[in-house]
């Protein structure tokens, strides 16, 4: 979404180039929305286009915002971590199963190959 904000030319000239002003406006809005609890850290990271959490932490630190997270964000991150751990465990268990079991005399890899013919 693009938003146009009217700024008198006399003032706009003091704010730098149009690109600089646009970036600063997005950063200010994003930071305020984060402080108000309407943006999460992952959303802030995405909105500002940072590649790493370290870059986001530096951005927040430069602006005097504590690097802590809200309880809601912590819960969401824990749920994400639980899903990752569950998926990793499922993959590990499947591999262990495939290493020790055969179906109709074929191991899992051979069975898959048979189905492709």
pTM of the model: 0.54
User: Taking all residues of the chain, what is their mean pLDDT, rounded to a whole number?
Assistant: 82
The rounded percent of the chain whose pLDDT value lies above 70 is 84
- Contact assessment for residue 100 and residue 68, using Cβ atoms and an 8 Å cutoff: no
Given CA atoms 42, 43, 49, 55 in this order, what sign does their dihedral have?
A: negative
Where in the chain are the domains? 9-62, 71-116
CA-CA distance, 58 to 67, in Å (whole number)?
A: 9
Reply yes or no on whether the pLDDT at 70 is more than 80: no
**Nearest residue to 44 (alpha-carbon basis) of 81, 55, 20:** 55
79 band by pLDDT with thresholds 50, 70 and 90: confident
Greater model confidence, 102 or 37: 37
**Nearest residue to 48 (alpha-carbon basis) of 38, 69, 34, 68:** 34
What is the pLDDT at residue 86?
87
What is the pLDDT at residue 71?
63
65 band by pLDDT with thresholds 50, 70 and 90: confident
What is the pLDDT at residue 98?
73
What is the pLDDT at residue 17?
85
């Amino acid at each position: 979404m693009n938003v146009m904000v009217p700024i008198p030319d006399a003032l706009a000239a003091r704010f730098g180039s149009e690109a600089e002003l646009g970036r600063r406006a997005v950063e200010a809005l994003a930071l305020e929305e984060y402080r108000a609890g309407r943006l999460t850290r992952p959303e802030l990271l995405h909105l500002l286009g940072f590649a790493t959490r370290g870059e986001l932490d530096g951005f927040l630190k430069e602006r005097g915002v504590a690097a802590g997270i809200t309880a809601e964000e912590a819960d969401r991150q824990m749920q994400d971590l639980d899903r990752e751990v569950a998926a990793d465990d499922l993959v590990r268990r499947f591999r262990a199963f495939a290493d020790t079991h055969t179906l109709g005399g074929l191991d899992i890899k051979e069975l898959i190959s048979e189905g492709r013919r």
